Amino acid sequence: MGDACALVEAFRAGALSPTEALDASLAAMEASPLNAFSFVDAEAARASAATADISLPFGGVPIAVKELESVVGWPYTEASLVFRDRTATYDSTQVARLRAAGAVIAAQTTASEFGGINCTSTKLHGTTCNPWDQTRTPGGSSGGSAAAVAGGLLPIASGGDGGGSIRIPAGFTGLFGLKSTFGRIPRGPYAHQPPLTVTVGCVSRSVRDTARWFDTCNGFDSRDTLSLPRVEGWEAGLDSFDLAGKRAVISIDLGNAIVEPVQTALLIDLAEELITKAKLIRIDLVIQLPQGGLEWSLSNLVGLAGALGDQYPACHDDLTTEIQLGMSMATKRFNLQTAGAAEMFRVEFNERMADIFEQTDFIFAATNPDVAFAAGGPMATTVGKVDMVAEYGFSKAISNNGALTIPANFTGNPAITIPAGLVDGLPVGLQVIGRHHEEQLLLDLARIAERERPWPLVAPPTPT
């Protein structure tokens, strides 16, 4: 029920064995009503725990892997009925590096189909629940990972973020999440190149856990030609960066989202405290980022069309409603002209963000527009008491769900979400977007919040 680093310390002190920790996790998984797992490999995990080298960074720690990521011999469904019979033939680079660091790869967590939306409910696996309130979603697409970690089932799990899929569920479940600079952790083998939005990483209970994860997994791999050179010292460097004098702007809505007012006040309070404690210089800067939901969606659907191949459109009825809608839209609207327009939008978006970061070092914003919505979806079209469809139309209402997180994916900037407290008993997260390649500064900002306002590592028990 602590963080992964504390578990390793317990192993080394002889207070607990990896086998005992794994058995506790497996029992918790079996008893959990959250539906956070799509596959559990208990036999292989027990064999791994029995021989775990606890001198390694994650030696003996039971870890779960999001089902959009490949683990050799495990189902590789991407949360879709279309691939329900597919089995992975290789480990992803991230999984291979975690194994080498001593992790016990125990289970596969649920995700939204192909990572398409911020709600984890599919035709293949049903609905995953938020441990803070089982009627609410843990978000998506890394919803199963967030539910498992926040629900006390295991201490850390992998995630991926192509439009907010680490930050959104971390924000909804009270966890810490880092979306790194694009390419920080390789996505190979068979890495997709365009549309240059997806990064991989983890959802965790502590900043040091995430730092250790990046120590383990970052660094160039030739099977992902856009991956970045290795950076050392993530965990060892915590609390060592001088943030004094760095510039910060608070723009809770990024100039394009509708955010719940009570949450806004809570986030501004934490942002102002972090600016003071870190001795940042607050600047007045108007942030007005365009909404890019359509361009983001069209660009990402190219890869999905390639993955489905000649199975589409015959597999249309097997897809979830949102993916059906996306593929139908792309089939009708995606052509050379719209592809070119989407690429020019990306170029202009990047110029806008570059202009902003010539004037500031950090942007403080909301992670999500509101608290978690209904577990089974559909995606939220209300914010607080505002009916977004009536006020702004359906397209704006749906796009609002990712309006706060997609910008950092478009431009490849690193961004974190920090647990900021509760609204109506549900977690909300403060997002901080930083400069390219400066994740470690974001981690040190989060460490200040972690010390000054410690957050619950797991959700409180909920009535059954």
- Euclidean distance between CA atoms 216 and 234, whole angstroms: 9
CA-closest candidate to residue 205, choices 277, 165, 151, 274: 151
CA dihedral 144, 146, 151, 154 (to 10 degrees): 90
User: pLDDT averaged over the chain?
Assistant: 96
> Tokens 């002190």 — which residue?
13
pLDDT at 260: 97
Query: Any idea how long the chain is?
Result: 464
Q: pLDDT tens for residues 297-334? A: 777 888 899 999 999 999 999 999 999 999 998 888 88
Pairing state of beta strands 382-383 and 415-423?
Answer: unpaired
Q: Measure Cα distances from 432 to 59, 126, 360, 443, 450 in Å.
A: 31, 32, 12, 10, 14
Question: What type of residue sits at position 337?
Answer: Q
Q: Which two tokens stand for residue 189?
A: 């083998």
Secondary structure element (H or E) that encloses residue 74, with its range: none
State how far the alpha carbon of 379 is from the alpha carbons of 117, 369, 387, 425, in Å.
8, 12, 13, 20
pLDDT in tens, the chain (464 residues): 999 999 999 999 999 999 999 999 999 999 999 999 999 999 999 999 999 999 999 999 999 999 999 999 999 999 999 999 999 999 999 999 999 999 999 999 999 999 999 999 999 999 999 999 999 999 999 999 999 999 999 999 999 999 999 999 999 999 999 999 999 999 999 998 777 899 999 999 999 999 999 999 999 999 999 999 999 999 999 999 999 999 999 999 999 999 999 999 999 999 999 999 999 999 999 999 987 777 777 778 888 999 999 999 999 999 999 999 999 988 888 888 888 888 899 899 999 999 999 999 999 999 999 999 999 999 999 999 899 999 999 988 999 999 999 999 999 999 999 999 999 999 999 999 999 999 999 999 999 999 999 999 999 987 55
Q: Are 434 and 361 in contact (CB under 8 A)?
A: yes
Token pair of 144 as six digits: 């199963």
Domains recognised in the chain with CATH numbers: 4-243 (3.90.1300.10)
DSSP 157: E
**pLDDT (tens digit per residue) in 34-77:** 999 999 999 999 999 999 999 999 999 999 999 999 999 999 99
Q: State whether residue 449 is helix, strand or coil.
A: helix
| Distance from C-alpha of 128 to C-alpha of 138, rounded to nearest angstrom | 7
Q: 174-194 as b/e, with b when 16 or more CB fall inside 10 Å?
A: bbbbbbbbbbbbbbbbebbee
Question: Which pLDDT score is estimated for 430?
Answer: 98
Q: Bridge-partner residues for 429, per DSSP?
A: 419
Euclidean distance between CA atoms 167 and 164, whole angstroms = 5
The closest alpha carbon to 60, from 94, 20, 92, belongs to 20
pLDDT of residue 463: 56
Per-residue pLDDT tens digits for 122-172: 999 999 999 999 999 999 999 999 999 999 999 999 999 999 999 999 999
**Those residues with Cβ within 8 angstroms of residue 411's Cβ, 6 or more apart along the chain or in another chain:** 349, 350, 353, 354
Q: Which amino acid is at 279?
A: K
Look at residue 291 in the predicted model and tell me its pLDDT: 77
Closest of 201, 217, 141, 150 to residue 3, by C-alpha? 150
Backbone region of residue 116 per phi and psi (left: phi > 0; alpha: psi in -120 to 50; beta: other values): alpha
Task: Look up residue 135 and give its two tokens.
Answer: 């009627």
Buried b / exposed e along 196-233 (16+ C-beta atoms within 10 A):
bbbbbbbbbbbbbbbbbbbbbbbbebeebebbbeebee
